[in-house]
Amino acid sequence: MSWLEKLPLKKKLTLVILLTCSVVLLLACGVLAVYQSFDFRRTLVRDSTVLADVIGKNTRAALAFQDENSAQQALLTLQSEPNVSAACLYDAQGNQFANYVQSGINVPLPSHPSTDGHVFESGHLGLFHAVILNDKRIGTIYLQTDLKRMDERLRVFAGVGLLVLLGSLVVAILLATPLQKPISGPILGLAETVRTIAERRDYNVRIPIQGGNETGLLTDAFNKLLAGIEERDKALRGEITERKNAEGKVQSQLARLELLHTITRSISERLDLQSIFQVVIRTLEDNLPLDLICICLYDPNANVLTVKGVGTSVVALEKELGLTREAQIPIDENGLSQCVRGRLVYESNVTQVKFPFPQRLAGAGLRSFVAAPLLVESKVFGALIAARKESESFSSGECEFLKQLSGHVALAAHQAQLYEALQQAYDDLRQTQQAVMQQERLKALGQMASGIAHDINNAISPVALYTESLLEKEPNLSARAKDYLNTIQHAIEDVSHTVARMREFYRQREQQLTLTPVNLNQMIQQVIDLSRARWSDMPQQRGIFIKVETDLDPALPQVSGVESEIREALVNLVFNAVDAMPNGGTLTLRTKISEKAVRLALVEVSDTGIGMEEDVRKRCLEPFFTTKGERGTGLGLAMVYGTVRRHNADIEIESAPGKGTTLRIIFPVPATPAAVPGKDTAPFIVPSRLRILVVDDDPLLIKSLRDTLETDGHVIVTAGGGQDGIHAFRTAFESKEPFAVVITDLGMPYVDGRQVASAIKGISPSTPIIMLTGWGQRLVAEGDIPPHVNQVLNKPPKLRELREALAQCVASTRS
């Protein structure tokens, strides 16, 4: 039946109608035929029965009266009935009484009657019927009816039926076509609509309502279904659109995250602020359509933002905006103030904001901007400003992105700052460490030097004393001897100075400067003399010639200062100048007066040497900065600078590579010249015949002191150690021959000068004590003048100083 299922609905319907019609008609015809046949037979039986009855009635008299002829005559009347092919009459006993056979037919007649009733035999109907007379059976009539006629009638009927069937079919075909339309039409319409919908996916289509029957209901239901589908389709589309939007958002969010990641990664690799800002700006410009991007740092004191980085796009807008690097943006009341308070500011349309900065942006054709604060530990230190020419152009996602980015940037910037600070601190620490190391080294060196100085001082003390004493007291000295002694004295002084300079390595400067008037012109001469070895002798050994010139202003006023320090500074400058001229050149020492607002005395040391680079020039005053490698300590100019600062002076350095260097020390000129202490001139009475105890562990020194002091007329008792000294003093004190003055060395084994001093003061508090020490200057410098000591004298002692000290001691004792 698959072919039937594949048949189009129209044909199927037609076929169904035709089949139904045909079957029904055939059925009807069949039933009719059967009925007809049945009816015909019944009619035949009835007719035959009636005929038999009539014949019976007509023949019963003949039968009753046994008149065969009459019976035969009566049967002959059947000739008028062509259907009756034969008839036979039997008497009560069942014997044939009369019979009739249609001419031309040869049929056997039953010899005896059967029971009443009819029987259809081949081609005919046999009927036995009783002949009744006065309620009494007197015989039987047999009728044989031919069925040919019935068959004929049936054939005719079948033919007519067939014709009717064919006619009906034709009519059915004619009727079926229009009749199936109301059924197939809507369904086909439905199918067509469904096909259209399925093809075009247009759920907007509706099938016109067909009426109130099932098709109508179907259509209605289908329309409802469509409406439902359309609704769901719409909802689905809506959902899809929503999803797509969401997906787009997620995509852009991802892109931004990626961007954020990229930026974060690249800025985390950088440690200086400017490069971080540049990376952020460049990446943002490349990846976000921005018309303006800049990063500013915030100065909370001035309440301004300083532009530290701008995008390239700013160049086009520069005229209108003026947002170049280092440009300053004042904080607006509303716009940027929120930002510097730590909030993200988004202005969707700057034309509507009447504040200077938004108006400035609006003037440049920008319409919307975002200012994201750079926040670290809830402190704003800058802002990231992005702007676009379209209003309402920043999505919340972008705002959030900028906010997060600014957080990262802030963190990175903060880290960079921290790193810088750390680096600075580290550098400082390293420098400090180096300085400390240097100082430690110097300290050790100084201690060593101090020991050496002490020993030298001790060693040369007798030389100095004897030389001075000889020159002073020996009247018969030849001129030659005098000259030698003078030379010895100078040499001793030089040694003393050298030792003193050695001390400079370690000694701390006096806190309170003892300022004296200094004649700089004189000092320059001294400096030239002192440094002669360096600028003259040593270069000449290498075949180099350095010319020294002086250009001194004779009107130069005296300045107030510490002579030795200034001299030392100048010597340092000369040394540097010489070092700067490895191939020789001219060294010029110059003094002049600057008459500006205040009077200034200038000392210049110029060379024609190699000069300095700018960065060297900037750093040359730092301690331990040296260009001389291992030869230099890096302390020379630092010391100079220290000296200059202590004298309230200034230093200027003019230098260029290959052009030589000029160092200028500018001293303020005091209004009144400092009083020259009358050291040399102060008259003092040299006491004589004093009883003096000299305590020292150095027998040479004791001897020289005894000799010189005894020459002055004093009585000298010596002790070779601290304990001996104390003992001698006590013995003398107890024997009523006390000493007027005690001169003691400081450094002695077992009992040192301090103990000696305290012990003597314990015995005789009024006895003045002069301490003579190779450490003398150091004691003074450290403020470590031991108690009980009245005077401290440095070794090598000068006779004059010794006498002065004695005079002062005696004077104070007397007073």
Partner 1 sequence: MAMPLKKSITCWLCILMLAMQTGSARAQSREYQVKAAFLFNFAQFVDWPAVTFADTNSPFCIGILGNDPFGQALDETVQGETIDNHKIIIKRSQTLDDLKDCQMIFVSQSEKGHITKILSDLDSKPILTVSEIEGFAQHGGGIDFYLAGTKVRFEINPGVAHSDGLKISAQLLSLGKIVQSAREDK
By CB under 8 A, name the binding residues for partner 1: 58, 60-62, 64-67, 70, 133-134, 136
Which residue blocks in 562-634 are alpha helix, DSSP H? Answer: 563-579, 614-619
Min CB(55)–partner 1 separation in Å? 12
Judged by beta carbon, residue 11 or residue 136, the one nearer partner 1 is 136
Q: Minimal CA–CA distance to 676: which of 513, 510, 798, 515?
A: 515
Judged by beta carbon, residue 53 or residue 563, the one nearer partner 1 is 53
Min CB(113)–partner 1 separation in Å? 20
Judged by beta carbon, residue 136 or residue 155, the one nearer partner 1 is 136
Min CB(141)–partner 1 separation in Å? 15
How big is the CA angle at 93 (ends 89 and 96), to the nearest 5 degrees? Answer: 30
Q: What is the DSSP letter of 8?
A: -
Judged by beta carbon, residue 139 or residue 776, the one nearer partner 1 is 139
Burial class of 300 by CB neighbour count within 10 A (0 to 12, 13 to 18, 19+): exposed
Min CB(42)–partner 1 separation in Å? 30
Structure tokens at 30: 């069949």
The C-alpha atoms of residue 580 and residue 572 are separated, in whole angstroms, by 12
Min CB(52)–partner 1 separation in Å? 17
Judged by beta carbon, residue 68 or residue 81, the one nearer partner 1 is 68
Min CB(132)–partner 1 separation in Å? 11
Structure tokens at 107: 């049929």
Structure tokens at 216: 């109508």
Min CB(59)–partner 1 separation in Å? 9
Q: Minimal CA–CA distance to 273: which of 387, 413, 148?
A: 413
| CB proximity list for 251: less than 8 A, separation 6 or greater | none
Min CB(134)–partner 1 separation in Å? 5
Min CB(44)–partner 1 separation in Å? 27
Judged by beta carbon, residue 3 or residue 65, the one nearer partner 1 is 65
Min CB(89)–partner 1 separation in Å? 14
Query: In the beta sheet, which residues pair with residue 516?
Result: 561
| CB proximity list for 58: less than 8 A, separation 6 or greater | 74, 77
Judged by beta carbon, residue 67 or residue 318, the one nearer partner 1 is 67
Q: What is the DSSP letter of 333?
A: T
Helix 699-711 / helix 396-473 crossing angle, nearest 10 deg: 60
Judged by beta carbon, residue 62 or residue 380, the one nearer partner 1 is 62
How big is the CA angle at 495 (ends 491 and 497), to the nearest 5 degrees? Answer: 115
Which residue blocks in 67-108 are alpha helix, DSSP H? Answer: 68-76
Q: What is the DSSP letter of 79?
A: G
The C-alpha atoms of residue 45 and residue 42 are separated, in whole angstroms, by 5
Judged by beta carbon, residue 92 or residue 188, the one nearer partner 1 is 92
Q: Minimal CA–CA distance to 725: which of 695, 759, 770, 764?
A: 695
Judge contact between 100 and 68, C-beta under 8 A: no
How big is the CA angle at 515 (ends 514 and 521), to the nearest 5 degrees? Answer: 135
Judged by beta carbon, residue 56 or residue 462, the one nearer partner 1 is 56
Alpha-carbon Rg of the chain, whole angstroms? 75
